Structure 1
Amino acid sequence: MGTSRVDAGTDAATGVTSKDVVIDAKSGLAVRLYMPGDVPRCKKLPVVVYFHGGGFVVHSAFSDVHSRFLNALVAAAGVVAVSVDYRLSPEHPLPAAYDDAWTALGWTLASCSASSPEPWLAEHGDAARLFVVGDSAGANIAHNVTMRARKDGLPGAGGARIEGMVLLHPFFRGGELVASEGTDPKLLQRA
């Protein structure tokens, strides 16, 4: 479940082009970048940093379902997107995913500068129009990284700002179950 991988390239249906970049070879942290078709040279676009779902244990930034979603989003919204392939549990328990998210956010912001070696973000990324997006467990990560940015400031800020956060089907759990969560005793155990 969630392991089907699609290669980066140009999506025939949307014209969006993607490529994979390793941003931390030691941890294996990588991202998939998405660029809409026919973007004029030096045109700055809003930046979406996206965290995939999968209950913290499945899927990746390279999964078919997330690639299809981001191709459609990038084409419709006219943004450049950075999809983060954070480390998964149980091999890398939390807070590894949160740490990877913070590292990826910092890399993204640094890459939006003219001196960055990442040409797509250097030429087209507008760090002053940054959106943090996630679905399911990724929404939990998006919330975590946005709250950390509020508390600690954005890494390497320099005019960067989070314009918005989008949480799609967020994966949160409180201390007490709500009625719709059922009465399964396993759900009552605290992590």
Structure 2
Amino acid sequence: MAVLPIRITGDPVLHSPAAAVTAFDDELRTLVEDMFETMDEAPGVGLAGPQVGVPLRLFVYGWTDDDDVLHRGVAINPVLWQSPLAVGQVDEDSESEGCLSFPGERFPLRRADRVILQAVDLDQRPFEVHAEGWLARIFQHEYDHLDGVLYVDRLGHPYAKAAQKAQRKNSWGVPGLSWLPGRDHLED
């Protein structure tokens, strides 16, 4: 297993739709193992193929809820169904999220409260997860990566402006930038 470099906003692979996974082989198994190791080392709660430079429709996730239940898995060629978004002002505390491809920054973003994730696993077995709350947010965030969308692309005013300022300050937004969990230190 290996920790993979995580691409930073501006890299074309992050801003283009990913292709369906068609080869379920040892190479895919190794990629998934490496993605779990990279996500854990970062540390993060999700990581999509495009974030490690692989333009395929898959993501890994790992999060322990308030009841100490571990939600961990891989979603390959997923489909995501979501409930309508709530209306009103976004809550800066409970709706704040970050992204390993926009490292060290957090902004509030409204997400659906409930989702249904349908995908296949490494053995091409279909599965379905009904998720609420934070796990629903993780699924939406990672699914967006597969469509070439970063969470900062969805931000409203004034947060979009703050994200653009952070991108300029860090000299992001150009191809070829990445960081390596465990080696590069990024401050929150």
Band of TM-score, shorter chain: under 0.3
TM-score (norm 1): 0.26
TM-score (norm 2): 0.26
Higher RCO (CA < 8 A, seq sep 6+): 2
Select the structure of larger CA radius of gyration: 1
